[in-house]
Amino acid sequence: MVIDLSPFYGTTTPFDRLFETLWPSMAISQRSMAYPPVNIGEDDANLYVCCEIPGMAIADLDLTLTDSSLVIKGERKVERGKYYRQERPTGVFQRVVNIQAGVDRDKVTATMRDGLLEVVLPKADENRPKKINIEAM
């Protein structure tokens, strides 16, 4: 196991930030990441938003659904102690997920297990795909 205690690990210079702004990287592994990371998916009936928030208590999270977005807010408390390196962010965070489909607001559910927050947003009936039968003449 290698532990890098270098004070320059992960730091960027103003020149690096300028270069990244002018020519952003296309590789996912090299992009700056929003926090918390989310996966967004859908099927015919639902939209799914899965969010990784390890070590968070449910009481420290706030979910708000508006007409066009899901807002995930929270605060990761600062743990006490001295650190040689701290890579997990602390403090207040907010992530906004834009929703392009109508949602049945009364049936939205959210569950959290093992640091994974899953929000299920059932699509409103008018936004679900409808199968059209073709009749022979």
What pLDDT, on the 0 to 100 scale, is given for residue 19? Answer: 66
What pLDDT, on the 0 to 100 scale, is given for residue 28? Answer: 37
Return d(Cα 49, Cα 118) in angstroms, integer.
Answer: 6
What pLDDT, on the 0 to 100 scale, is given for residue 25? Answer: 53
What pLDDT, on the 0 to 100 scale, is given for residue 57? Answer: 87
What pLDDT, on the 0 to 100 scale, is given for residue 23? Answer: 64
As averages over each run of 10 residues, the pLDDT of the chain (137 residues) reads: 47 68 52 78 91 89 91 86 78 89 90 94 81 85
pTM (2 decimals)? 0.67
**∠49-100-61 over CA atoms, to 5°?**
35
Return d(Cα 26, Cα 43) in angstroms, integer.
Answer: 27
* Domains of the chain and any CATH numbers: 34-127 (2.60.40.790)
What pLDDT, on the 0 to 100 scale, is given for residue 109? Answer: 95
What pLDDT, on the 0 to 100 scale, is given for residue 130? Answer: 76
